[in-house]
């Protein structure tokens, strides 16, 4: 079956889909994106993702490429047309196409939009979760506005590649004081000896993850305490558990940091039960 992409108002075969060479996303990374999980035929937490999209667009003064309701329909339609039951739907909006110039283009320049969807294998993901992943740490070298989900991801790309070359799956950015900010494409968490979930406050220095918010909802429902505060690598290594969250990984146990085991080096039960509870608590929109 051939994949279908949505590009600026048209559904086109994925392998023929393209954007203009002077799209500002291509030339300046002048755009934003969202990734939503698709699970069992539902788009997970779509309203929260679209709220965050609106915030990212607003911060960069890019207008919505189409109304929110029509955009929801496009997301669902791309998932449906690609027959994605479990996978990801990707949405990117840029400031549009204009002659290369750093200044914003004229106000009548339409933002450009692309939506794609792909399948993922939930069994492979479960296997990965049962094993847990390793992370490395890297110094923070991104701009300050990482709260905006911008397509400018070069430091994240380099950090992830470094992780891969070190035999790990994710890189955690460290603040100058040695505390953990977040992963290259995930939020970072630990579970203390008392069973408290700890993650960095989203006010500055990290992206306010949607999966992070839903894990907080699960915690509230199960009377698990959450502390939003910074934690160091040392604290993470001696914690009961560590894990990461993102639409692409849901809740994924972390079993090693920079080659050192977290606790006993096995996935923790708290992370695995949060992963288990995730689908039931998340908001589901039928695709
Ligand atoms: N990344 N932090 C960063 C830097 C991210 O890029 C992401 C998501 C997250 C987790 O956010 P959420 O729970 O809303 O997915 C945290 C996406 C999945 C990506 O770039 O592929």
Report pLDDT digits (tens) over 52-91: 999 999 999 999 999 999 999 999 999 999 999 999 999 9
Residue 1 has pLDDT above 80, yes or no: no
Q: Please give the pLDDT value at position 284.
A: 98
pLDDT for 184: 98
For residue 35, the CA-to-ligand 1 centroid distance in Å is: 8
Strand ranges, E, within the chain: 4-7, 10-13, 31-39, 42-44, 87-94, 112-119, 133-139, 170-174, 180-183, 187-191, 197-199, 226-228, 241-246, 250-257, 260-261, 284-286
| Alpha-carbon gap, residue 60 to 70, rounded angstroms | 22
Task: Give the pLDDT confidence score for residue 44 in this predicted structure.
Answer: 98
With a 6 Å cutoff on the Cβ, whether 214 touches ligand 1 is no
Q: Kindly state the average pLDDT of the residues 182-189.
A: 98
Distance of CA 209 from the midpoint of ligand 1 (Å): 6
Q: Summarize the confidence of residues 98-124 as an average pLDDT.
A: 98
The pLDDT tens digits of the residues spanning 133-145 come to 999 999 999 999 9
When pLDDT is averaged across residues 239-245 and rounded to a whole number, the result is 98
Mean pLDDT of 123-137: 98
Residue 164 catalytic? no
pTM above 0.95, yes or no: yes
Q: What mean pLDDT is predicted for residues 176-185?
A: 98
Best CA proximity match to 209, nearest among 163, 147, 158? 147
Atom of ligand 1 nearest to the CA of 48: 14
- CA-closest residue to ligand 1 atom 9: 186
212 Cβ below 6 A of ligand 1: yes
3 state DSSP class of 183: strand
Strand pairing of 31-39 and 180-183? unpaired
The pLDDT of residue 149 is above 80: yes
Asked if pLDDT for residue 165 goes beyond 80, the answer is yes
pLDDT of res. 204: 83
Check whether 129 has a pLDDT greater than 90: yes
Look-up of token digits 């915030």:
55
3-class state of residue 67 by DSSP = coil
Section 244-269 average pLDDT? 98
For residue 7, give the 3-state DSSP assignment. strand
pLDDT tens for each residue of 226-238: 999 999 999 999 9
Helix (H) or strand (E) run with residue 164 in it: helix 154-165
- Ligand 1, residue 156: give the atom nearest the CA: 4
Catalytic one of 99, 131, 149, 162: 149
Residue 196: both structure tokens together: 């408290």
Q: Is the pLDDT of residue 277 over 90?
A: yes
Q: Whose CA is nearest to atom 1 of ligand 1?
A: 185
Average pLDDT over residues 272-281: 97
Q: What is the mean pLDDT of the chain?
A: 98
Q: Is residue 287 lining ligand 1, measured as CB closer than 6 Å? A: no
Contact between 181 and 205 under an 8 Å Cβ cutoff? The reply is: yes
Percent of the chain with pLDDT over 90: 99
Reading the block at residue 50, the tokens are 């679209």
């Amino acid at each position: 079956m051939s994949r279908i992409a949505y590009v600026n108002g048209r559904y086109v075969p994925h392998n023929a889909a393209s954007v203009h060479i002077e799209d500002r996303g291509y030339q300046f990374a002048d755009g934003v994106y969202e990734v939503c999980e698709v699970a069992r035929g539902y788009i997970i937490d779509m309203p929260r993702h679209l709220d965050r999209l609106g915030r990212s667009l607003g911060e960069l003064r890019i207008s919505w490429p189409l109304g929110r309701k029509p955009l929801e329909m496009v997301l669902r339609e791309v998932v449906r047309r690609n027959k994605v039951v479990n996978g990801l739907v990707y949405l990117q909006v840029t400031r549009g196409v204009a002659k290369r110039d750093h200044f914003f283009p004229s106000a009548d320049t339409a933002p450009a939009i692309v939506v794609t969807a792909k399948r993922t294998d939930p069994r492979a993901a479960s296997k990965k979760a049962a094993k847990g992943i390793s992370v490395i740490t890297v110094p923070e070298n991104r701009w300050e506005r990482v709260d905006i989900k911008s397509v400018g991801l070069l430091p994240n790309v380099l950090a992830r590649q470094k992780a891969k070359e070190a035999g790990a799956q994710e890189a955690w950015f460290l603040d100058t004081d040695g505390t953990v900010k977040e992963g290259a494409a995930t939020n970072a968490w630990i579970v203390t000896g008392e069973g408290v979930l700890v993650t960095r406050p989203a006010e500055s220095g990290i992206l306010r993850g949607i999966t992070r918010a839903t894990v907080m909802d699960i915690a509230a429902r199960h009377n698990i305490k959450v502390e939003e505060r910074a934690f160091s690598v040392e604290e993470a290594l001696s914690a009961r558990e560590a894990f990461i969250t993102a639409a692409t990984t849901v809740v994924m146990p972390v079993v090693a940091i920079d080659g050192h085991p977290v606790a006993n080096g096995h996935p923790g039960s708290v992370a695995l039960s949060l992963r288990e509870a995730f689908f039931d608590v998340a908001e589901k929109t039928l695709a």
